[in-house]
Chains A and B, each alone.
Chain A
Amino acid sequence: MTVINATSLQQALQALRDHPGARLVQGGTDLMVEVNFNRTSVNDVVALRQVNELKRWHIDDEAGAIRLGAGVPYAEMERSPLREHLPALAQAARTVGSPQIRAAGSLGGNLGTCSPAGDGLPVLSALDAIVHLQSVDGTRDVSIHDFMVGVKKNTRRADEVIVAVTLPLLAGYQGYAKVGTRNAMVISAASACLAHDPLGGSVRVALGAVAPTVVRARQAEVWLAAQANLRGALRISPELAREFGQRAANECSPIDDHRSTATYRRHAIAVLVERLLLRGNEHRPGVAP
């Protein structure tokens, strides 16, 4: 086993090419659990901890979007100024593990592991994120919806590094909520992210831990757009929000496992989605939640 501590992106990409099958590690909070319990055999490792290019973010005003490096730790997403730009991501980041985990963990790891319960992934899905991949041969941009293909399966090629995600800066409400067996340090039994685009007139909702990948409730989204005017401030009646939650719950395919049951997960999704939509009614532009 060899560990290569890359100090630049170029060095990491070359190391991946030179060591086919090498595992990438950013913070290590997923991989090391597997290693500690002998659940995985690791051969070569390319460590991204010291690759500063992955820890940067910047706003593209013209595009109205933010490009967030794959190695930015959750701890930074929780804080200003990222919290104001990406409020749902900040809420999701706050629910990841413990402060110690959030100091190390990142979206690159969340995407690389691609668990349906990954806390950042519903946010990326609801915001129609673009995932930026890079290899020594060049770059590739993939929609988050094409990136996640199964339980812990994504379309990253073995020689590619997840370098960043691009997310739109929306003026409307963005919220994230999850349910687990306790309040702190818990892996989701069900999670949801709702994002309102008041200019485009849409409400998008993504659901976590209730299907092989994070899924969008697209039929419910279309239904809601036909029922209510989604341009400008949201004014959703409680009855409409309840039905929206139930329709969203019908679009997921949860299973029974050690964390929860399918029935409970579906119920939780209905409640979370209804709650998030009603919170959208309270949103005032420019005021962080």
Chain B
Amino acid sequence: MSNEFYRLTVNGMQHEVRDAWAGESLLYVLRERLGLPGTKGACEQGECGSCTVLMDGEAVCSCLVMAATAVDSDITTVEGLSVDGEPTDVQQSFVDAGGVQCGFCTPGLIVAVHHLLDRNPNPNELEIKEAISGNICRCTGYGRIFAAVEQARDQRRATESR
């Protein structure tokens, strides 16, 4: 592959990445080259989860993906979850339950929770804790985040059984 430019598929749209250093992380390319700052960066070593995106349906740390190797993958960022700018059910649950304080960890958590609920519609408390164990929040103490996930889970089940 020539590195003069490469294409990434982000939120269903093809983007050309030009004049980039080939070692740049997907996190950097999303934020600084593609104008998608919803994905947050903090630790840059896979510890905090604030850069979580979906890559071919798997939740991964975008800081640990070399962007030039992500060609031919479907990437979904927090910007790509909502339809028509309306908050998703998970986002609304975070608002309702007070799961957002400073908000820095929120985009990564939203992506991780969507990933969880799309694969396991009825997670128990342990499964919820495990699913977001890679997303660190320093404000909330997690209680309201767990409440938000449970609210989203219960609302989805109520909608489905209706």
Task: List residues of chain A with CB under 8 Å of any chain B CB.
Answer: 1-5, 25, 27-29, 31-33, 35-37, 42, 45, 47, 49-50, 75, 97-101, 103-104, 184-185
Q: A99-B131, A103-B58 are in contact. Are A36 and B25 (CB under 8 A)?
A: yes
Interchain nearest-CB distance for A19 vs B (Å)? 12
Bound Cα distance from A104 to B1, whole angstroms: 22
* B124 lies within 8 A of chain A by Cβ: no
Q: Contact between A35 and B130 (Cβ–Cβ < 8 Å)?
A: no
- Classify the interface of chain A: helix, strand, loop or mixed: mixed
Q: A103-B60, A104-B60 are in contact. Are A37 and B69 (CB under 8 A)?
A: no
Q: Contact between B134 and A97 (Cβ–Cβ < 8 Å)?
A: yes
Q: Contact between A2 and B1 (Cβ–Cβ < 8 Å)?
A: yes
Q: Contact between B65 and A104 (Cβ–Cβ < 8 Å)?
A: yes
Given the complex, which residues of B lie within 8 Å of A98, measured CB to CB?
A: 46-47, 49, 61, 133-135
Q: Contact between B134 and A101 (Cβ–Cβ < 8 Å)?
A: yes
Q: Contact between B69 and A29 (Cβ–Cβ < 8 Å)?
A: no
Report the contact-size class of chain B (Cβ under 8 Å from the partner): 20 to 34
Q: A2-B22, A35-B66 are in contact. Are A100 and B60 (CB under 8 A)?
A: yes
| Cross-interface CB contact of A185 among B23, B68, B134, cutoff 8 Å | B134
Supplied contacts A101-B64, A103-B58, 16 more A-B pairs, CB within 8 Å:
A1-B22, A3-B3, A4-B1, A5-B71, A27-B64, A36-B25, A45-B69, A47-B66, A50-B72, A98-B61, A100-B49, A100-B59, A100-B60, A100-B61, A100-B134, A101-B134
3 closest A-B pairs by beta carbon, nearest first, are A98-B134, A47-B69, A3-B68
Q: A100-B59, A185-B134 are in contact. Are A33 and B65 (CB under 8 A)?
A: no
Given the complex, which residues of B lie within 8 Å of A27, measured CB to CB?
A: 64
Q: A1-B23, A99-B59, A100-B59 are in contact. Are A33 and B134 (CB under 8 A)?
A: no
* B21 lies within 8 A of chain A by Cβ: yes
Bound Cα distance from A45 to B21, whole angstroms: 12
Interchain nearest-CB distance for B10 vs A (Å)? 17
Q: 0/1 per residue, B6-33, Cβ < 8 Å to A?
A: 1000000000000001110100000000
* B91 lies within 8 A of chain A by Cβ: no
CB<8 Å pairs between A and B, sample of 20: A2-B22, A3-B69, A4-B1, A5-B69, A27-B64, A32-B25, A32-B63, A35-B23, A47-B69, A49-B70, A50-B72, A98-B46, A98-B47, A99-B133, A100-B59, A100-B112, A103-B58, A103-B60, A104-B60, A104-B61
* B106 lies within 8 A of chain A by Cβ: no
Q: 0/1 per residue, B45-82, Cβ < 8 Å to A?
A: 11101001000001111011110111111000000000
